[in-house]
């Protein structure tokens, strides 16, 4: 599994466990909330697993 998928999975797990998107943004070191859109899309099932 590539590093970015580990990060995405981590972010999704946090969001699924009701962490605030701003908190997740800070933990991942993203400057802009727009960057977090990939995680919200993944939560909605827009991406298929590449495992």
Q: Which distant-in-sequence residues (6+ apart) come within 8 Å of 19 by Cβ?
A: none
Q: Does residue 10 surpass a pLDDT of 60? A: yes
Which pLDDT tens digit goes with each residue over 26-40? 999 988 888 888 777
What's the distance, CA 51 to chain centroid? 17
What is the Cα–Cα distance from 18 to 3, expressed in whole angstroms?
Answer: 23
Residue 1's pLDDT band (cuts 50, 70, 90)? low
Residue 9's pLDDT band (cuts 50, 70, 90)? confident
Residue 46's pLDDT band (cuts 50, 70, 90)? low
pTM, to two decimals:
0.68
How many alpha carbons fall within 13 Å on the CB side of residue 8?
20
Assess contact for 39 and 15: CB atoms under 8 A.
yes
């Amino acid at each position: 599994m590539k590093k970015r998928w580990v990060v995405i999975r981590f972010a999704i797990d946090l969001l699924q466990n009701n962490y605030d998107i701003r908190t997740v943004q800070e933990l991942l070191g993203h400057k802009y909330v727009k960057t977090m859109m990939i995680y919200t899309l993944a939560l909605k099932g827009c991406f298929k697993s590449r495992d």
